[in-house]
Amino acid sequence: MSLSVSRLYKLIVPKYPAPRTTVEDGSSPPLKLGILGAAAIAPRAVINPAKLMPDKVQVYSVAARDAARAKKFAKDYGIPRTHDSYEELIADPEVEAVYIPLPNGLHYEWALKCIEKRKPVLLEKPATSNAEQAEKLFAIAKEKDVLVVEAFHWFFHPAAKLVKDIVSDTENFGEVEKFEGSLCVNNLFKDDDIRFKFSLAGGSLMDVGCYPISWMRYYLGENPTAARSLEHEVYPKDAKIDGFASVEYTFASSDKKKGAVHCGLKTPWLTWWRIGFISKLIIASGKKDLVYTMPIAPHVYHNISIRDIATGKIENRSCIVEGKEAWSTYAFQLEAFADAVKGGKDVPLFSNEDSIDNMRAVDMAYRAIGLPLRS
Ligand SMILES: NC(=O)C1=CN([C@@H]2O[C@H](COP(=O)(O)OP(=O)(O)OC[C@H]3O[C@@H](n4cnc5c(N)ncnc54)[C@H](OP(=O)(O)O)[C@@H]3O)[C@@H](O)[C@H]2O)C=CC1
Ligand SMILES: O=C1OC[C@@H](O)[C@H](O)[C@H]1O
């Protein structure tokens, strides 16, 4: 039997290429990222940011439930490959990491499938449908040693860290006692949107509330122990979906410590104006208070205003990184994710434990407003 060069090559080259590490100049080739679903958020979250860092990330492929839809999406956004199903994309050895922007109710299932194939995951928020799923998911990720990062993009913008530094300086700022945060995207989505489907783990607390809850936990540096409803309204077309929710949390460390969270997809107009246009957070000690305007999108606009309660003096601050003025929260997030996957760097998060705790606080809020947990 003659052994041709090509047959010999097939025999000695492994079926799956070895992980791509370094090229001749010592640098790493860009991370090949695959996207599950031709989702509306994908251009903002990964496709456009990847263009800012072509040496670090290449959006390599997209898969959709409908192959033609994936092809159109790939053409529209200049993505070189498509896969005909989510399974195929995950199984492709060329795909080094996966971005999951599926409806919330599918996060758990698909993140688990990626872990099975040992693919690191950038997983859209909220990580799962409920805390029980989050506990299981992150336990499996840990056991299999696969990186799963919940895409809480706000956290990766340096303004978030600046605010943390300011309020952690207790000598100057005082002991933080109160938090109030809001995110409302009023009437932005149509009634057939995934956000209004209980079967896909929709709802205001899931979609937008998870952000102010994450801000609260981060800036107060503590997990809540109880929650009560301040006010809430169900979505008129499905009583299991919260159209708007306003919840107050309490904490074990002090009776004085309180965290209020407001979120809405259908917020009553007057309430919306009262709690702050789109997104705002307030952190207060007895000595000072800080208002961070637009913590959800500091790259669009933000302001950090610190007021000394005794003197009334106000200091305004903001945070722009030289050379990265055009970087969005998503770009900072994508860079951190790529650096972790390719460079073995730690992701400066918001750990997996935080993602679990955040889901616990979301569940706590659902119990407080008397709506069923998502599944
Ligand atoms: N980080 C951020 O700023 C944002 C995060 N998000 C999060 O991203 C996720 C997706 O949100 P968004 O992009 O607005 O949603 P879209 O509805 O635009 O995208 C969801 C994708 O999920 C796929 N899908 C699979 N199964 C279903 C199903 N049964 N019903 C509907 N869609 C399905 C569809 O992909 P296919 O193409 O295969 O049909 C669709 O493209 C959510 O988890 C949301 O919370 C959303 C917006 C902003
Ligand atoms: O950042 C966001 O703003 C709008 C929301 O509906 C979306 O899901 C969220 O992630």
Residues in the chain: 375
Distance 28 CA to ligand 1 centre (A): 31
Q: Which ligand sits closest to the CA of 199?
A: 1
Mean pLDDT value of segment 42-47: 98
What is the CA(194)–ligand 2 centre distance, in A?
12
Ligand nearest to the CA of 42: 1
d(C-alpha 31, C-alpha 15), whole Å: 20
From the CB of 45, is ligand 2 less than 6 Å away? no
Which one of the ligands is nearest to 204 CA? 2
Where does the chain hold its CATH 3.40.50.720 domain(s)? 5-153
| Chain segment 83-112, per-residue pLDDT in tens | 999 999 999 999 999 999 999 999 999 999
Is this complex scored with an ipTM above 0.90?
yes
pLDDT tens sequence across 144-168: 999 999 999 999 999 999 999 999 9
Average pLDDT, the chain: 92
Helices (H), the chain: 5-12, 42, 48-52, 67-77, 86-91, 107-116, 131-144, 158-168, 170-173, 204, 210-220, 269-275, 329-343, 352-369
Does ligand 2 have an atom closer than 6 angstroms to the CB of 207?
yes
Say how many C-beta atoms besides its own lie within 10 A of residue 99's C-beta: 28
Q: What's the rounded Cα separation, in Å, for the pair 310 and 370? A: 41
Report the half-sphere exposure of 123 (CA within 13 A, side-chain side).
Answer: 31
Average pLDDT over residues 301-317: 97
Ligand 2 nearest atom to the CA of residue 265, by list position: 6
Amino acid in position 270: L
Q: Which ligand number lies closest to the CA of residue 40?
A: 1
Residue 277 C-alpha to ligand 2 middle, in angstroms?
15
Measure 372 CA to ligand 1 centroid, in angstroms.
Answer: 22
Nearest to 361 by CA among 168, 227, 163, 198: 227
Q: Tell me which of 3.40.50.10420, 3.30.870.10, 3.30.360.10, 3.30.43.10 is the CATH number of domain 154-323+353-364.
A: 3.30.360.10
Q: What is the pLDDT of residue 25?
A: 56
Atom of ligand 2 nearest to the CA of 183: 3
> Which atom belonging to ligand 1 lies closest to the Cα atom of 104?
43
CA of 334 to the centre of ligand 1 (A): 18
Cα 194 to ligand 1 centre (Å): 7
The protein residue whose alpha carbon is closest to atom 32 in ligand 1 is: 103
Q: Which residues line ligand 1 (CB under 6 A)?
A: 37-41, 45, 64-65, 69, 101-104, 106, 124-125, 151, 153, 194, 200, 207
pLDDT at 2: 39
Least confident segment among 22-31, 110-119, 273-282, 297-306: 22-31
Nearest CA to ligand 1 atom 16: 39
Nearest-CA neighbor of 56 among 359, 339, 362, 245?
339
Name the residue of 41, 77, 328 to mutate for ligand 1: max ligand atoms within 8 A of Cβ.
Answer: 41
208 lines ligand 2 (CB under 6 A): yes
Encoded amino acid at 359, one letter = M
Class level of CATH domain 5-153: alpha beta
- Does the pLDDT at position 11 exceed 70? no
Q: From the CB of 124, is ligand 2 less than 6 Å away?
A: no
Contacts of 320 (CB under 8 A, 6+ apart): none
pLDDT at 349 over 90: no
Q: Which of 35, 44, 65 to mutate to test the pocket of ligand 1 (most atoms within 8 A of CB)?
A: 65
**pLDDT value at residue 14:** 31
- Give CATH 3.30.360.10 domain extents, the chain: 154-323+353-364
Q: Which atom of ligand 1 is least distant from the CA of 152?
A: 1
